[in-house]
Amino acid sequence: EGQLEGKSMEERAKDVEQLWNLRQLLIAMSKDWRVLLIKLADRLHNMRTLHAMAPSKQRRIARETLDVFAPLAHRLRVVALKEE
């Protein structure tokens, strides 16, 4: 929600569509669940190093993580990654 504030409806729709497409891409390309597990571990590493990035980039990456990668971790039952 916070990332969408101050944006036009067209920009909001584009953001939502990009997130949906990313989620679908990850699911479609990963016939092997281990690939998704590696992507989740990589995203966790990225989240741990956010402090080195600009605040706007930190917010964008954090929002994408919550919207895309946390649900994937939940779906794969990787609770430790989801919760961190």
Query: Is the separation of the CB atoms in 65 and 47 below 8 Å?
Result: yes
Per-residue pLDDT at 64 exceeds 90? no
Proportion of the chain above pLDDT 70, given as a percent: 85
Q: pLDDT value at position 53?
A: 93
Burial of 39 (0-12, 13-18, 19+ CB in 10 A): middle
Reported pTM: 0.62
